[in-house]
Structure 1
Amino acid sequence: MDRAHGAALQLRQLPPTSSAHPLTELSFSYKENLIGALLAIFGHLVVSIALNLQKYCHIRLAGSKDPRAYFKTKTWWLGLFLMLLGELGVFASYAFAPLSLIVPLGAVSVIASAIIGIIFIKEKWKPKDFLRRYVLSFVGCGLAIVGTYLLVTFAPNSHEKMTGENITRHLVSWPFLLYMLVEIILFCLLLYFYKEKNANNIIVILLLVALLGSMTVVTVKAVAGMLVLSIQGNLQLDYPIFYVMFVCMVATAVYQAAFLSQASQMYDSSLIASVGYILSTTIAITAGAVFYLDFIGEDVLHICMFALGCLIAFLGVFLITRNRKKAIPFEPYISMDAMPGMQNMHDKGMTVQPDLKASFSYGALENNDNVSEIYAPATLPVMQEEHSSGGASGVPYRVLEHTKKE
């Protein structure tokens, strides 16, 4: 009797079977993936709305004499608040979902900007002309949404607590050290060609941005994860690795913004958006797979479907940005001294090119409505010249003064 009672007591004290544990862990990982994905989508949507609000405010105050008049408007401050809220949502999303899931969701911002731009467009189009003009945007939005769905559905489900010990272990692992060595060599080579050889190709600049961005997102996930654990009661702020990651996050973000600013001065913003998204997402996913081992334990089907989702999202973003209206570049003026007899105008120091304030600019090859800068008149220097009588015609040219009506 005692033996049977002891056996029953031992059976009661046995831990639960491990067969239910994977299901519980899998359900928990899907829940965390969903929370992270929703936070990222919400954050990108809000940031896109905020940027468009601030852009709308700047356009309305374009003719104001006060360069800081937007500080006095509620619209600009609402945009700033929404931007901070959106960035906070994106930052928090890294603490819940794998890096490989959060990074490609940047396509949501491109989709939102395209839709907002179409809704608030001021031009009136016939339905047929409207569809012809924006068909690429609609197709791109559809592809980007399909790609986003595949990304969320087939994203890796590997979750690990972002403790100081785990991050330190990943930081000194051989795969990541080898990856860092390759990335540093590639970054130095690209920087050498960019600075010393004047290799201003957009791929070179955006590769520099993407390499820095991969380190930014790796450190952002570490910092966000340690902060969330600290808020939950498991304090991680006493680990030195937290401050190392924080400094790396800020430094790489600053240099990344500097290279992006240089790229925006040389290339169209839509081209930067599409190429930058593709390069940054690809390299960031690679960094997450090496540092956080995102795809460990995933089957081949999930990895292939995830890669397909990335490719579809890339194509969608490319089509959306390809359809954006490009700014008309400034047309060069006709060289006046290339015309016979125009050298005689130097004698009186006359203004050859009037200031550009009208819709049509004299001397330009075509209309320049989109030129925002106001160009001052260029006065030619007074030169004392003796013109020989052996010219094509002995009669001097008559200078006609142009008086501009206000």
Structure 2
Amino acid sequence: MEKATISSIQMEELLTTEETPTENYFSYKDNLIGSLLAIFGHLIISIGLNLQKYSHIRLAGTKDPRSYFKTKTWWLGLFLVIVGEIAVFSSYAFAPLSLIVPLSAVSNIASSIIGIIFIKEKWKPKEFLSCGLAVIGTYLLITFGPNSHEKMTGENIVIHLVSWPFLLYMLVEILAFCSLLYYYKQKNANYLLIILMLVALLGSTTVIAVKALAGMIIVSIQGTMQLGYPIFYIMFVCMVATSIAQASYLSQASQLYDSALIASVNYILSTTLAISAGAVFYVDFRHEDVLHLCMFALGCLIAFLGVFLITRNRKKTKAFEPYVAFNSMPGVISMHDNGSAVQPDFGSSFSYGALQSNDSLSEVYTPATLPVVSEEAASAYNALEHNKSE
């Protein structure tokens, strides 16, 4: 009897340990920490980038011979960008991938607001609506985002890496990337959608590697060393390689298309594919109900619309047209140089050369005139011509 009770107790303990795995858990606190880190990071990045832009504009508007990297403002902006990137990188270790990626909309909202302070950009009333939509979308993303967490150990990452859903996803992604690359390189199809699809496909791989690296570092800090696994260095190489490739394609796109259009389309495509990668690789939505999925999708759509309207409202910067000023060439008199004219001005009124009255000029400057023929001479000439014809 005692053996039967002992065996039943052991069986219950075994079932309870199987039903409550220690690797997967739910934590709204971790979601909040990750979301706040991502929002803070994108906000700091926006401030840093605007500081660097302000430094360039300030040097261009003055006769300061210094380069931009010799100014304190530019270095402060670079420092803030690095701090923001570290915060965004850390956020991937706390919250699901599908929640962190859409929060990059905060950078577009912050850039629109901060641009008014640093660069004195003008705001139109419709831009308030655009920022409001982006804020509402961000709120829905945080509220109804996935809440599935997993310790990023080396074993778990390898298990996800060799799972058949992810292998199938990678096969489709590789085929799509090779097809787009063929049309882009061989057929010279320099369409914006093709270039940014290449960027988005690379970006979905980048965020997978970033979350794996951030999670393994946090687990190592907590006491379980993960840096000895080869998968850590494989993910690091993958992150660096795909990031460099993304920067290359974005640079090529910026030479052909407007930067505001690139920002909005790239955000939509990259976020969509990154959410798909997180759902397949990390199974972010495995325990979510239909209501949360629908509200999360609605939040994504509203954020997409807000970012698109924000970037659309921005004025296109006019291309710089070089010119040569008259006073920059030696020997040429400037039109506004102490009242002297470009051409000699013989009168008291301000005129541009030939537009002036010529009454007081000498014969050299007077226009040529035809000889005046009297009426009698004209009638005699006409009679002579009539006699000749007869």
Scaled to the shorter chain, the TM-score interval is 0.7 to 0.9
Could you tell me which residue of structure 2 aligns to residue 115 of structure 1?
A: 113
Is residue 51–residue 118 contact of structure 2 (8 Å, CA) maintained in 1?
Answer: no
Is residue 24–residue 149 contact of structure 2 (8 Å, CA) maintained in 1?
Answer: no
**Matching residue within 87, 97, 101 for 2:85:** 87
**Matching residue within 191, 196, 200 for 1:206:** 196
User: C-alpha distance in 2, partners of 1:48/1:358?
Assistant: 37
Amino acid at match of 1:267: Y
Deviations along 1:284-306, one digit per CA (max 9) or x if unpaired, are 00000000000001100000000
**Matching residue within 155, 165, 171 for 1:181:** 171
User: C-alpha distance in 2, partners of 1:94/1:59?
Assistant: 34
User: C-alpha distance in 1, partners of 2:305/2:154?
Assistant: 38
Q: Does residue 1:99 correspond to 2:97, yes or no?
A: yes
Is residue 55–residue 68 contact of structure 2 (8 Å, CA) maintained in 1?
Answer: yes
User: C-alpha distance in 1, partners of 2:223/2:237?
Assistant: 24
Could you tell me which residue of structure 1 aligns to residue 245 of structure 2?
A: 255
Is residue 50–residue 118 contact of structure 2 (8 Å, CA) maintained in 1?
Answer: no
Could you tell me which residue of structure 2 aligns to residue 233 of structure 1?
A: 223
CA RMSD of aligned residues (A): 2.6
Q: Does residue 1:356 correspond to 2:346, yes or no?
A: no
User: C-alpha distance in 1, partners of 2:298/2:47?
Assistant: 28
Seen in structure 2, the aligned counterparts of structure 1 residues 321 and 180 have a Cα distance that, compared at 3 Å, is same
- Indicate the percent of aligned positions where both proteins have the same amino acid: 72
Q: Does residue 1:71 correspond to 2:38, yes or no?
A: no
TM-score normalised by the chain length of structure 1: 0.73
After superposing on structure 2, the runs of 4+ consecutive aligned residues of structure 1 that deviate more than 4 Å are: 24-28, 63-66
User: C-alpha distance in 2, partners of 1:64/1:81?
Assistant: 26
For structure 1, the 5+ residue unaligned runs are 124-129, 332-354, 360-406
Could you tell me which residue of structure 2 aligns to residue 140 of structure 1?
A: 130
User: C-alpha distance in 2, partners of 1:196/1:212?
Assistant: 20
Could you tell me which residue of structure 2 aligns to residue 56 of structure 1?
A: 54
User: C-alpha distance in 2, partners of 1:330/1:198?
Assistant: 28
Seen in structure 2, the aligned counterparts of structure 1 residues 77 and 41 have a Cα distance that, compared at 3 Å, is same
Deviations along 1:118-175, one digit per CA (max 9) or x if unpaired, are 334547xxxxxx7xx6123111100000000000000111100000000000000000
**Matching residue within 202, 209, 214 for 1:224:** 214
- TM-superposed CA distance for 1:48, in Å, is 0.2
Could you tell me which residue of structure 1 aligns to residue 271 of structure 2?
A: 281
User: C-alpha distance in 1, partners of 2:183/2:287?
Assistant: 40
Report the count of equivalent residues: 315
Is residue 26–residue 147 contact of structure 2 (8 Å, CA) maintained in 1?
Answer: no
SS of residue in 2 equivalent to 1:56? helix
Could you tell me which residue of structure 1 aligns to residue 337 of structure 2?
A: none
Amino acid at match of 1:273: A
Q: Larger C-alpha radius of gyration, 1 or 2? A: 2
- TM-superposed CA distance for 1:26, in Å, is 10
SS of residue in 1 equivalent to 2:167? helix
Seen in structure 2, the aligned counterparts of structure 1 residues 233 and 26 have a Cα distance that, compared at 3 Å, is closer
Is residue 26–residue 157 contact of structure 1 (8 Å, CA) maintained in 2?
Answer: no
**Matching residue within 186, 201, 209 for 1:196:** 186
Amino acid at match of 2:43: L
For structure 2, the 5+ residue unaligned runs are 327-390
Seen in structure 2, the aligned counterparts of structure 1 residues 53 and 183 have a Cα distance that, compared at 3 Å, is same
Is residue 141–residue 296 contact of structure 2 (8 Å, CA) maintained in 1?
Answer: yes
User: C-alpha distance in 2, partners of 1:328/1:51?
Assistant: 20
Is residue 23–residue 151 contact of structure 2 (8 Å, CA) maintained in 1?
Answer: no
- TM-superposed CA distance for 1:358, in Å, is 4.8
Amino acid at match of 1:158: S
Could you tell me which residue of structure 1 aligns to residue 302 of structure 2?
A: 312
- TM-superposed CA distance for 1:61, in Å, is 1.4
Amino acid at match of 2:246: Q
SS of residue in 2 equivalent to 1:294? coil
Could you tell me which residue of structure 2 aligns to residue 365 of structure 1?
A: none
